[in-house]
Amino acid sequence: MSKEHEPADPRAWATMSAAEAGTPTDDPDVLRLRRMMHLLDAFAVGRRTVCPTRVDLVAYQAGELSHDTVEGVQAHVAVCPACWSDLADLSALASPPLLEVVVELAHDALRLVRHTFGSAATPLAAPVRGEPVGAIELAAEQEALRLHLSVDTAADDRADLRVRLNGTADAGLGEHWRISLYRGDHLLESRQIPRQEPAGEVDFARVGHGRYTVVVTAAGAEVGRLEIDLQPAHD
Amino acid sequence: MLSAVAAGDAAAWSALLERYRPFVLGRLRQARKTRNWFWLTELDDVVQDVLVQFYEAVQQGRFTYRDEHALRGFLVQTTFFVVMKHKDAATGEQALSDLWVGDEADDLERRFALVEFAESAFDPLGRRDCLRELYQAIDRLPEARREVLRLTLLGLHPRDIAPRMKRTANAVSVLKFHALDELRRALEQTDFAANCGEYFTSLGSEP
């Protein structure tokens, strides 16, 4: 041991080392110290001795606790690093993917209902009857992902859905996107497209009115989801 | 589709897997990246565990379909509980604060204030009073001794505490020895042993 690292109180250091080593001993100083260490361990934060359960945390996050209990959980989470960390983990899991877009097509117009992009969600192209009713282009700045969604109407009042994707993503997400179209629980179509510039593009032709979900996956993981409600156009 | 799964329809289960496996995996990947879950390596195992639990919940009637939002919420909650099992396993191998990374680690360590923590304690098993008395006794120690025990309560070992307190690990061990000794003497002046003595019992009686 170098002089620099030599303990100032060798006896205290030796007793502490023996207590931490856990080897059998009848030294009363070591045993006393172990009892104190055991006491601290019993009330360590990681033991969650006095924390709400994780079921409580889930109910708290879902807004299913009574007012009084909410206040208690709130006060505790504010000062408990273990619970704060757990709740942040839960929130991360509950957060929708980077690309989540809800649009409605009604009255010949494409309407953006909600999306998960902080900014840069822009409806493009004013609808003109007989022409594509519009497009929504969204950019996720952090991940350099871009999504271009087009919905085209046809003469018989059915729509074509066109989904264009480009951008970059984690290398672990493979070289392809898979874009699947669901109506309710039913998978209607699923296509694989290269994740390349300028854009991968999929057309789902002539789909009828109803609620659709377009799920975008890469390497088996869902990276985006679009919920689309196609309603009848009205004159 | 769920009613078919509940009835044991294997094809319906396969279709359900195809539909929701990407959802669970996507959420896991995103959360692992956001939260720096370096301790979670086998995502496929987690997904499998979640989907098996989902299957059992459907089979046993613990989950009934209300709408898509509720179904996804159930999957998120199930995923959370499975991930927490992995987190607890990782915590058993290292200090709790080692699971936190970067600025969050600093923030969480600072966030942990002894008296405020004791005051906000839940009390499922009547341990709140013991915890409060212990934490208040620690809070009354001189600053360095209080800090070494505060960090110990976060699960840190002397070698982890050393850089935080700008001391050598040996110096921290000595400091901890004196802190525990002073704490013991302080508690002996109170009814702590009489009221909370059960927390000493696993090491036997005082020699």
* Distances from the Cα of A105 to the Cα of A19, A160, A207, A215, B5, angstroms: 71, 11, 12, 18, 33
- Position A77 pLDDT exceeds 60: yes
Looking at the complex, does the CB of residue A51 fall below 8 Å from at least one CB of chain B?
yes
**Above pLDDT 90, what percent of chain A?**
15
Residue A172 pLDDT: 58
Give the pLDDT band of residue B202 (cuts 50, 70, 90).
very low
Within 8 A of A15 by CB-CB distance, chain B residues are 177
- Position A141 pLDDT exceeds 70: no
- Position A233 pLDDT exceeds 90: no
Cα B14 to Cα B34: distance, rounded to the nearest angstrom: 30
Q: Which residue of B115, B177, B192, B198 is the best one to mutate when testing the A interface, meaning the one whose CB has the most A CBs within 10 A?
A: B177
Residue B185 pLDDT: 92
Residue B57 pLDDT: 92
Closest A-chain CA to B70:
A62
Within 8 A of A4 by CB-CB distance, chain B residues are 168
pTM of the model: 0.74
Ranked by mean pLDDT, which of A108-117, A140-149, A179-188 comes out on top? A179-188
- Position A35 pLDDT exceeds 80: yes
Cα B196 to Cα B166: distance, rounded to the nearest angstrom: 34
Give the pLDDT band of residue B114 (cuts 50, 70, 90).
very high
- Position A128 pLDDT exceeds 60: no
- Within 10 A of B124 (CB to CB), how many other CB atoms are there? 13
Tell me if B116 and A79 make a contact (CB, 8 A cut-off): yes
pLDDT digits (tens, 9 = 90+) for B59-99: 888 888 888 788 989 999 999 999 999 998 887 766 677 77
Residue B206 pLDDT: 43
Q: Which helix (H) or strand (E) holds A133?
A: none
CA A168 and chain centroid, separation: 18
For β-strands A109-115 and A221-230, DSSP reports them as: unpaired
Give the pLDDT band of residue A3 (cuts 50, 70, 90).
low
Looking at the complex, does the CB of residue B135 fall below 8 Å from at least one CB of chain A?
yes
